[in-house]
């Protein structure tokens, strides 16, 4: 799942793909590097300037329409918590609603059901774009499993297609130790019975774990890929990523190790 931000204030790219032409170029590059899903977002998760639903639609809709027209075989996900935005993008060809805020707007589940769209269930533990505060977890993994599976069951009961429902094994309101625990115990999340997505790309927990420079995003890639490989080997099936090609290669190598993908070439040297 390649991330394309139609925002001027993304924590990672600081508006690199805010302009429409830049967003189109990012989609084209992501597809060429092996992305299966393009995740388009119009509002950063961090607190900041108000972005109403009309402005959010204005930002993301042209990219959704263009991607749907030019890459009909690639799935389109839209990162939103608003049912109005979800409805507009689904009408334009979006396949998945990536709701990072745990159905804070409950009507978003009805929209997903009405359009037969997929839905990503996340344990957010705060209101959309509120100041980040770590929840008081007794066991972060158990809480994530409980909250995401409860939301998945609720989405299915609303009519969202079961085969389109995923659970997010990360989410907001977690510190570095929490994220490390979630990655280390992905098997427990997978065991809940729903397909698992992990959002690990260039996150703060990688920087803090390795004591890296926050200003140098390229330094975070190695740690991101290490966490990705661990989670993939444990059974997570989808990964949000800003760097598609190295992520794709990491996942394919894990699949080869697990016997889920044959090597492209098999050459045995005999002395």
- Contact predicate 164/115, CB 8 Å: no
Domain edges within the chain: 68-255
CATH of domain 68-255: 3.20.20.20
How confident is the model at residue 270, as a pLDDT?
58
Low-confidence ranges of the chain (pLDDT < 50): none
pLDDT score, position 62: 97
pLDDT of residue 190: 98
**Contact partners, residue 209, CB within 8 Å, separation at least 6:** 176, 180, 223
CA distances from 178 to 181, 191, 203, 205 (A): 5, 19, 12, 9
Place of tokens 């929490």: 178
pLDDT of residue 127: 82
pLDDT tens readout for residues 117-155: 999 999 987 788 787 777 789 999 999 999 999 999 999
Instruction: Summarize pLDDT for 26-41 with one digit per residue, the tens.
Output: 999 999 999 999 999 9
Instruction: Determine the pLDDT at residue 186.
Output: 98
């Amino acid at each position: 799942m390649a991330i394309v931000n139609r925002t001027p204030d993304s924590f990672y790219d600081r508006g690199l793909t805010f302009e429409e032409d830049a967003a189109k170029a990012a989609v084209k590059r992501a597809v060429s590097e092996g992305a299966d899903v393009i995740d388009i977002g119009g509002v950063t998760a961090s607190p900041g300037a108000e972005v109403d639903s009309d402005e959010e639609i204005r930002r993301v809709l042209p990219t959704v329409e263009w991607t749907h027209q030019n890459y009909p075989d690639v799935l389109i996900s839209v990162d939103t918590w608003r049912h109005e935005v979800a409805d507009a993008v689904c009408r334009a060809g979006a396949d998945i609603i990536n709701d990072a805020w745990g159905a804070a707007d409950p009507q978003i589940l009805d929209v997903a059901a009405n359009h037969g769209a997929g839905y990503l269930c996340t344990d957010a533990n705060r209101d959309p774009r509120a100041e980040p505060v770590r929840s008081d977890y007794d066991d972060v993994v158990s809480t994530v499993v409980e909250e995401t599976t409860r939301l998945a069951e609720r989405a299915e009961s609303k009519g969202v297609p079961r085969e389109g429902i995923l659970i997010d094994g990360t989410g907001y309101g977690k510190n570095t130790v929490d994220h490390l625990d979630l990655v280390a115990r992905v098997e427990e999340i997978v065991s809940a019975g729903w397909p698992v997505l992990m959002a690990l790309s260039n996150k703060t927990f990688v920087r803090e774990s390795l004591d890296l420079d926050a200003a140098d995003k390229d330094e975070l890639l190695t740690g991101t890929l290490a966490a990705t490989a661990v989670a993939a080997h444990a059974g997570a099936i989808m990964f949000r990523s800003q760097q598609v090609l190295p992520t794709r290669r990491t996942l394919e190598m894990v699949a080869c190790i697990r016997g889920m993908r044959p090597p492209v070439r098999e050459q045995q040297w005999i002395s």
